[in-house]
Structure 1
């Protein structure tokens, strides 16, 4: 019934839900029978709701967290002495990377654990980013081992390290009365006319007829031109259309010198790392025809000499 925005309420409820689910599992109760202890205190509600308000006001797309420290020892609560980390904190942090640390006190509370888990997309090192602002929040606890300080870095992820996102169009047609020669010619023509990808899938249609499913990926700007080609060059009477998103990693082409010639290699990079290395078929095929060497040997040499660069 509060006047808080829907987004703020959603974040706050997600945090409270994590805590309630953890308490329910620990005590063996249904979630609707859970009675909050410390969590029901005004200061905890303020912590959670204030965090949600800040989150919405910052307008950040994704949150990342360092590996979560837990601490050790015991802590007093309304339920008596509890081990550190508290049972609720451990339950909440399942499947989250954590470490104990050389601390004989509580470092992460159930409330803090729930906030982090509700927000963080990933845990670990600071992601590749350009830092824009830095914020600090200090508590009143004084410890020699670790400062009672929370630091938040706000920044923009470099496009170099983000997958490329595109809004594309997928065109498809089921064809049961064509020949492989015509389908091959159609694919070649489509590849020369602004399509991003084209392929066929074997399918069975009515009366168990072996057929082709033609699939074409293209930009919105060129879809009418592509539809025209499909209708003119194939025997289909209709085309299906749907919008799709494509995510792709960054790529570049490099030239590698071999003892008997040069070939091009395509490299796919993600988060600053080379994760895919593939010799380009056309350049390897051309060199194979020129030298008489087996194509597979050229592929192997290309990868070998690339790794030695």
Structure 2
């Protein structure tokens, strides 16, 4: 059985998953073409490149937003520079942009010091709208079902935390585009590679605190922790947010079990890079693809 193993020794995020899949031999150009079925390609461009993280060659994947109205300019600049883990509010958190953009309702502040909330209220997509664009995109059943299940996992977690029904969960436009591309792109590449089963290591979440829209929160952030209910979490003394809501949801939904590296014949290995560089280990997600008996 063709199996994919997530080796999350430095955590997991959506962009790291796609980088690792490309690094393992998936075709990003085919993914780019498939993503056009969503009819939102005017909102973003994709980039991927080889980078070296603490001696390991890996692939860095980024979603670069196309529309830059003035009120979003400062945020988007920050997003492009720091797509995986580059801010240093408090304890070197990583992806608070992803956490802070998978949002809740119309009561959050537009003036928080992260410069992450300079949006108008119409700059968002609801969970229901995201489901509609996925259903209308004419993906094959595997890609569609994977994508919908992952988005539902995130939406339910956010709804639970904020006391909202699923249909009232909002995804801010900037964060939603990231999440849509990372989640559906991952589903496209996993399907493309003919993966029949997914396994994962325990998920390290990091430690310390992050600054998100509602204030200073402990790591793991509430949405990430809610998503990881029932999933083994690995202790980590790294003071950074290692697992993001999107990465956590990809692992939580797709992995059939969380275990050490299984007995398998390895066929390909991929490393997906985060942005931040840690002193003592490479900030990458490793995936291992092979045949299990």
Find the aligned partners of 1:100 and 1:108 in 2 and give their Cα distance.
12
The size of the alignment, in residue pairs, is: 158
Find the aligned partners of 1:148 and 1:45 in 2 and give their Cα distance.
23
Which residue matches 1:196? none
Which residue matches 2:260? 125
Deviation at 1:100?
2.7
Which residue matches 1:157? 292
Find the aligned partners of 2:159 and 2:281 in 1 and give their Cα distance.
32
Cα shift readout 1:111-161 (whole Å, capped 9, x = no counterpart): 110000111011020111111111111122112243221111111113xxx
User: Secondary structure in 1 aligned to 2:161?
Assistant: helix
Per the alignment, do residues 145 and 91 of structure 1 end up closer, same or farther by CA in structure 2, a change over 3 Å counting?
farther
Higher relative contact order (CA 8 A, sep 6+): 2
User: Secondary structure in 2 aligned to 1:76?
Assistant: strand
Cα shift readout 1:260-283 (whole Å, capped 9, x = no counterpart): xxxxxxxxxxxxxxxxxxxxxxxx
Aligned counterpart for 2:186 among listed residues 51, 64, 80:
51
* Equivalent residues of 1:103, 1:145 under 8 A apart: no
Find the aligned partners of 1:55 and 1:74 in 2 and give their Cα distance.
32
User: Secondary structure in 2 aligned to 1:26?
Assistant: helix
Deviation at 1:67?
0.8
Deviation at 1:38?
7.9
Question: Larger deviation: 136-145 or 82-91?
Answer: 136-145
Q: Which protein is richer in strand relative to its size?
A: 1
Deviation at 1:45?
1.6
Deviation at 1:3?
3.5
Question: Larger deviation: 131-140 or 103-112?
Answer: 131-140
Cα shift readout 1:195-221 (whole Å, capped 9, x = no counterpart): xxxxxxxxxxxxxxxxxxxxxxxxxxx
Find the aligned partners of 1:48 and 1:78 in 2 and give their Cα distance.
22
Find the aligned partners of 1:133 and 1:85 in 2 and give their Cα distance.
31
Which residue matches 1:62? 197
Aligned counterpart for 2:146 among listed residues 3, 7, 11:
11
| 1:91 equivalenced with 2:226 (yes/no) | yes
Which residue matches 1:107? 242
Which residue matches 1:144? 279
* Equivalent residues of 1:73, 1:84 under 8 A apart: yes
Which residue matches 1:20? 155
Find the aligned partners of 1:39 and 1:65 in 2 and give their Cα distance.
29
Query: What is the TM-score normalised by the length of structure 1?
Result: 0.49
Deviation at 1:64?
0.7
Find the aligned partners of 1:113 and 1:38 in 2 and give their Cα distance.
20
| C-alpha RMSD of matched pairs (Å) | 1.7
Misfit runs of 4+, over 6 Å: none
Find the aligned partners of 2:167 and 2:205 in 1 and give their Cα distance.
28
Per the alignment, do residues 19 and 148 of structure 1 end up closer, same or farther by CA in structure 2, a change over 3 Å counting?
same
Unaligned runs of 5+ in 2: 1-135
Which entry has the higher C-alpha Rg, 1 or 2? 1
Aligned counterpart for 1:36 among listed residues 171, 174, 181:
171
Which residue matches 2:112? none
Which residue matches 1:134? 269
